[in-house]
Amino acid sequence: MARVLLTFFFATLFCFTSATPSHKLLGRASVKTLSSSTIHSYKPYAFYSSAAYCSPSNIKKWNCGANCKANPHFLPNITGGDGSTTRYWYVGYDPTLNTVIVSHEGASPGAMLSSLDAADSALTPLDQAYFGGISTDIKVHKNLANEHLRSAYDLFYAVANLLVQYIDERPSVTLVGHSRGAALSLLDAVMFTNSFPPLTKIKYVGYGLPRVGNQAFADYVDKYITSIDEGAGFVRINNKKDPVPINPSRALGFVHPSGEIHIQASGAWVSCPGQDNSASQCIRGTVQNDASGTKQDSYGPYDGVTMGC
């Protein structure tokens, strides 16, 4: 898909291709407490994730209350979704952070848990029309993949156009979202990583992300996204006892990429190195099964931001 546009996009970027990102992973071995400046650096993305719950008509005017006021310079470009079958989503440009923002609306923890367990939760390869040439060993949750495809085309065009419009030596896209929105944005992140020239900086910040794919999927994210920005290209922030991030289970073949940050009961934020870290300070060690989770924790607060419009 989008061949013509991609050709144009690649041609536009061609003169910059000498700068390639370093794909090295930080060898963080143990759980570490994060500083308050690191914690605050994620706050704009929490507000962008939360704003995706607001109606597209308000997003278009960037008039959605606290979530919009927190990032006052944002320039919305397009919106989509119907708020139910296809969660709302929007794309725009943040001139302060100099990045194109993509955000998908989330879902309530109850709805999320049942949809992850639904009959169409089998692992399925990515659609080659949107993920051309990607390994068929990479498999993702079918129901999430199907929803992702409903917005992929419009969203892809909008992001590519904005990258061209605001092009500089390091074009950047930041993908955010909460819960289901985090999962859909992660599929976008992989789609863009697979399609765009490597100098495009793909950054991902997800809140309460469920497991989206299998081991090969997690390895792909680690290799091509987490590795950007000295290992900070991908972060998934989990709050306290949110049960969503421990689903679907590892027993079903689902694996989380590296890059977990887990908010402790005390409110401290710690980084949990590796994929699905089982330490007691990390989500897998904290929430052993759905019954020991606290659904309300899914909404946050994440550094003071509670998800929702």
Ligand X SMILES: *[C@@H]1O[C@H](CO)[C@@H](O)[C@H](O)[C@H]1NC(C)=O
Please give the residue ranges that form the binding site for ligand X (CB under 6 A): 77, 161-162, 165
Residue closer to ligand X, measured from CB, 200 or 258: 200
Q: Measured from the CB of residue 77, what is the shortest distance to ligand X in angstroms?
A: 4
**Which among 288, 300, 218 has a CA at the least distance from the CA of 259?**
218
Q: Which is nearer to ligand X, 93 or 234 (CB)?
A: 93
Min. distance of Cβ 158 from ligand X in angstroms? 7
Judge whether 228 and 21 are in contact, CB under 8 Å. yes
| Least spacing, CB of residue 76 vs ligand X, in Å | 7
Give yes or no for a cis peptide into 248 (omega within 30° of 0).
yes
Smallest gap from Cβ 7 to ligand X, in A, equals: 17
CB of 182 to ligand X, least distance (A): 24
Cα 198 to its chain centre, rounded Å, is 18
Nearer to ligand X, 2 or 255 (CB): 2
Whichever of 162 and 205 has its CB closer to ligand X, that residue is: 162
Nearest residue relative to ligand X (C-beta): 161
Q: Please provide the DSSP assignment of 210-275 as one string.
A: PP-B-HHHHHHHIIIIITHHHHTSEEEEEETT-SGGG-S-GGGT-B--S-EEEE-TTS-EEEE-ST
Whether 232 and 24 have beta carbons less than 8 Å apart is answered as no
Measured from the CB atom, is 12 or 161 closer to ligand X?
A: 161
Contact 67, 51 (CB under 8 A): yes
